[in-house]
């Protein structure tokens, strides 16, 4: 999948293993693994087959997805297509999501 970042700051924080260790010391190695899995996946449906409980969010996070990084830390992202791929039933068509925008890495359970 193609990955873009919501901000230049976030892109810098996630750019290299060294930056991830500096920005997210408690979960840098797990973040490396998750970003690597996302890059390697042909589409979002692949992520549903891997550990990390990739799932769609609701409420204030409607339209966003989350995948576990470590403990309560989650990688929050959304599809980044001009037209979001939707199934006939109205749900997100994970098999057609090939580009995502990483919005944040955070402990959203604590907020």
Q: What is the pLDDT of residues 39-83, one digit of tens each?
A: 999 999 999 999 999 999 999 889 999 999 998 899 999 999 999
d(CA 26, CA 74): 12
d(CA 65, CA 78): 6
Domain positions in the chain: 2-110
Q: For 21, what's the count of Cα atoms within 13 Å in the CB-facing half-sphere?
A: 4
Q: What is the pLDDT of residues 76-108, one digit of tens each?
A: 999 999 999 999 999 999 999 999 999 999 876
Alpha helices in 1-111 (DSSP H): 8-14, 17-23, 28-40
CATH homologous superfamily, domain 2-110: RelE-like (3.30.2310.20)
The residues, ordered by sequence, that sit 6+ positions from 99 with a Cβ below 8 Å of its Cβ are 1, 2, 3, 4, 79, 80, 81
């Amino acid at each position: 999948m193609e990955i873009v970042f919501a901000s230049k700051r976030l892109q810098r924080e996630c750019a290299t293993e060294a930056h991830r260790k500096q920005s997210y010391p408690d979960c840098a190695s797990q973040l490396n693994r998750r970003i690597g899995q996302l890059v390697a996946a042909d589409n979002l449906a692949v992520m549903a087959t891997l550990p990390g409980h990739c799932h769609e969010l609701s409420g204030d996070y409607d339209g966003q997805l989350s995948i576990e990084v470590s403990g309560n830390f989650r990688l929050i992202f959304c599809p980044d297509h001009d037209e979001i791929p939707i199934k006939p039933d109205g749900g997100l068509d994970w098999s057609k999501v090939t580009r995502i925008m990483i919005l944040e890495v955070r402990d959203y359970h604590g907020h």
